[in-house]
Chain A
Amino acid sequence: MKKEDVPQDPSALVGVTRDVCYVKDKNGKYTTDLSIGWDVKKQALDNAWDDIKERVAEAALKVKNGETSPVFYFMEVKLMDVTLLAGYTGFWKFTVKRHFNPEVFKNLSGEKMAIYAKAFDISAEELKNFKG
């Protein structure tokens, strides 16, 4: 890539940092330049986030319909999967999956509720009272 071809498309980096790019200067030597973003990259990232937002919305609807518990919803919100959530809570994966059941969730002890709340970085009330 030549120095004059470094993309400068505003992206999520603006106001935070810029990307270092290795580019050829006009004498054909490598040098570095800074980029505020590239549309192609931004679009790929935006797409991934659209997908996440959709999954979160679906999870909320499922909680509302009584098909899953807030544990599942907040797992999606926090971009986790069952393995990761098991890592943060110290529960077995099958235990986590059991807690997706609204009936099981309703009877969770305060202690377990607090463990999930901590893993999600929210209050236990917020977790308990999420209705979708």
Chain B
Amino acid sequence: MEPYKHIQSAHCENGVATGLLQHHGLEFMTEPLMFGLGSGIFYIHIPFLMVNGGPAISYRSMPGWIFSRASKLLGIKVNRKKFNSEKEAFEYLNKQIQLGNPVGCQVGVYNLPYFPTEYRFHFNAHNIVVYGKENGNYLVSDPVMETVTTLTEEDMRKVRFAKGPLEPKGHVYYPENVKQVSKEQIQKAISKAIKRTSFDMLNIPGPIAGVDGIHYTANQIRKWRSKLGPRKAALYVGQIVRMQEEIGTGGGGFRFLYAAFLEQAHGYIPNDELLRLSDEFTKAGDMWRASAINMGRIFKGRLNEQKDFEESADRLDEIAEVERQAFKDLRKLKLL
């Protein structure tokens, strides 16, 4: 088999999944296609849960789901292993490397030495590809990096057995018995994935997930200043933006990625509605960015009146409605 080809992506899980499938001969795979087929776009605001002392918001589906969902739609099996023993985890990884099989590894970023210090929080759902070992160091393709890198055995032990929420437990995964995928299969997968995504964004019960979740955050923002005081409220708003625009990812960024997916979907299914809706998601992405700039004025301390929080909340309400309409139109599409 060819050596593993490093690819850089906007989001780590997309990058690893795309790279591994390309490596197994599916050259048509791209990051937007993976993200779209995996129903990666999402929104959830988990009440009562705190992340780094702020609100817990995610702009994407659960870690691991993108690859799993996309593979299932394409009829590909993903082999996944987690370990209780570090020794077994390393024997397994070393064996795969010896077999010349590049694997995806879930890691914590706190101890990733090549990451900028400012980004090294205890976040455990980062993904890298390990594709070899040289002079005792693991050869690593991290999709947020521009080039390949390496990790010592000790670094690797720390990141694969990081503790806390979403513990990796040495999680290793790779696609198995990958067969060629026909154009019809891809068309079918696109159609199903779009339905799935629309369902997740529109129909999950409760107020915290999908487009309802965006309204939920807006309503929380309106309460923060009187409940938490101006300083803490500003920090919380900062956290929304930080979660939105993390290294190599982002709420706005994910909307652009979904727009790119719809554009590529049009290449497989020439229904012009896909292009129009792609533009709607570009618009949503631009609105998320404008909202981040607006929130920036709050956490930079330039504005901190109740009306400034109200304005940020109003903007989120507007975004939610643009996305609601776009997903409704997507759900109605007869693609096949």
Contacts and interface: CB of A to CB of B under 8 A. Distances in A.
Interface of A: 1, 12-13, 16-24, 29-30, 32, 34, 38-41, 43-45, 47-49, 51, 79-80, 83-84, 87-88
A87 B164 contact: yes
Contacts of A83: 164
Contact of A45 (B110, B242, B285): B242
Interface string B105-132: 0000010001111110110000000000
B263 A41 contact: no
Nearest to A13: B116
B114 A44 contact: no
A1 B53 contact: no
Interface string B292-336: 110110011000000000000000000000000000000000000
Interface string B262-297: 011000000000000010001001100100110110
Given A16-B145, A51-B235, 14 more contacts: A1-B282, A1-B289, A12-B119, A13-B247, A16-B114, A21-B256, A30-B264, A40-B292, A43-B300, A47-B300, A79-B110, A79-B122, A87-B163, A87-B167
Which secondary structure dominates where chain A touches chain B?
A: mixed
Contacts of B116: 12-13, 16
6 contacts: A17-B144, A22-B10, A30-B264, A47-B300, A48-B242, A49-B118
A18 B296 contact: no
Nearest to A15: B116
A1 B300 CA distance: 24
B241 A44 contact: yes
B253 interface: yes
Contacts of B256: 1, 21-23, 30
A21 B288 CA distance: 14
A40 B296 contact: yes
Contacts of A45: 118-119, 242
Contacts of B32: 22, 30
B293 A40 contact: yes
A49 B116 CA distance: 13
Nearest to B146: A17
B164 A16 contact: no
Contacts of A49: 118
B228 to A, nearest CB: 13
Nearest to A32: B10
A47 B10 contact: no
Interface in B191-249: 234-235, 238-239, 241-242, 245, 247-248
Contacts of A1: 252, 256, 282, 285-286, 289
Contacts of B58: none
Contacts of B118: 12, 45, 49
Contacts of A17: 144-146
Contacts of A12: 116-119
Contacts of A47: 234-235, 238, 299-300
A21 B282 CA distance: 12
B41 interface: no
A1 B114 CA distance: 29
Interface string B1-12: 000000011100
Contacts of B163: 84, 87-88
B52 interface: yes
B117 A41 contact: no
A19 B10 contact: yes
B260 interface: yes
B257 interface: yes
Contact of B248 (A19, A29, A43, A80): A19
A87 B203 CA distance: 36
B17 interface: no
A49 B53 CA distance: 12
